[in-house]
Homo-oligomer: A and B are copies of this chain.
Amino acid sequence: MENFIMHNPTELHFGRNVLENLGEKANNLGKKALLIYGGGSIKRNGIYNTVVSALSKNGIEFTEYPGIKPNPLVNDADAAAELGRKEKADFILAVGGGSVIDTGKIVSVAIPQEGPAWDMIKGKTHPRKSLPLIAVLTLAATGTEMNRFAVVQNPETREKLGFHNPLMYPVYSFLDPQFTLSVPKDYTSYGITDLTSHCLEAYFGEGHAPLSDKYVYAIIREAIEIGAPLLNNLQDYELRARMMYAATNALNNLTSYGRRSGDWGVHSVGHILSVLYDVPHGASLSIVYPAWMKLHRNRIPERIRELGKNLFGTKTIVDTIEGFEAFFSGIGSPIRLSQLEIEKPDAGLILETMNKNKVGGNIHKLSPEDNRKLIAFFL
């Protein structure tokens, strides 16, 4: 086991009607909020009104920046930061799924920073302060509600990049599984593949951390247990709650303590598919992960075999990979790019973009030849 510091500062409120605590907690952070949200579904389902009424009951003013895209754009983060500066916001209140909360995180460090957010994401500037962030989550998937990560896209450079900083942990997060009851079948499925992939990125990292490995098995087994029943009962509170809690746990550091690093190579490839063909994040991962395991079957055979043994009770690498393909397919998430309705996916363009963006993991690097093989596996 590697040395580590175990600490997660986020105070996460989980369960039915937890927004009842929002006003009191927001009051701890100031009197002026910058409210960030997405396409407006929170207005249709009443969450917007609940949030606004909690703020006004506590005498908290707010200014709002709506319209965050599902694959969030750095331009929006810059524009929201500009608004927050102008309005002298005390804190950020991000209400939505992973894209909205990730944008909120970028904005929270961008406001005191002043320069363009993309410079920070590219490592040219370094955040030193942040505005406190409250997250109200409406979609179970990315785990952003209890971690220091954000992913954002630059449409000009065709890059989608992860960024992390301890300043970006939400101070408070509110997770009411009732808000996820209306998430459609496909995005529910992608949420399950997303949380599963987060566990796998940790597992395929570096460092001997047997208890963290067992947490990976625990969370993926939970995902497998709830997957099919949930997709047949999208309105089931208990299954929604289990999925939401599993997604938080899949990326709140729990699966990483004692490791040197996670891998994240599959995510970097998945991002390429999202940028080129607007493939939903979770779908890109269920497409790339089985292919990635095929590519690595002779490089880390024991690691893949052990995973199958603990998740599916299988004995071989082939059975492990087939176990994942069956799991993803069983919940309706694609395992080949050809399953999506994309007009003429261009293997040449995919390869060129992968090479140009130097996809690959922290531990398991991907050569241009690896990329070619990967594409052949997942096309």
Contacts and interface: CB of A to CB of B under 8 A. Distances in A.
A61 B169 CA distance: 35
Contacts of A219: 211, 214
A241 B215 CA distance: 17
Interface string A1-35: 11111111111111110100000000000000000
Q: Which among A1, A241, A254 has the highest number of chain B CB atoms within 10 Å?
A: A1
11 contacts: A1-B15, A3-B13, A5-B11, A6-B12, A8-B8, A14-B257, A210-B225, A211-B219, A214-B218, A215-B218, A241-B258
A202 B208 CA distance: 27
A149 interface: no
Interface in A287-319: none
A3 B238 CA distance: 11
A219 B214 CA distance: 8
Given A6-B12, A10-B7, A1 B214 contact: no
A266 interface: no
A356 B16 CA distance: 40
Contact of A7 (B12, B211, B221): B12
A12 B3 CA distance: 11
Nearest to A208: B238
Contacts of A7: 10-12
Interface string A117-140: 000000000000000000000000
A14 B10 contact: no
Contacts of A372: none
Q: Which bucket holds chain A's interface residue count? A: 35 or more
Nearest to A177: B1
Contacts of A248: 6
A242 interface: yes
A11 B12 CA distance: 17
A212 to B, nearest CB: 9
Contacts of A8: 8
A180 interface: no
B1 A245 contact: yes
B222 A218 contact: no
Contacts of A241: 1, 258
A217 interface: yes
A257 B241 CA distance: 12
A36 B135 CA distance: 40
A249 interface: yes
A221 B213 CA distance: 12
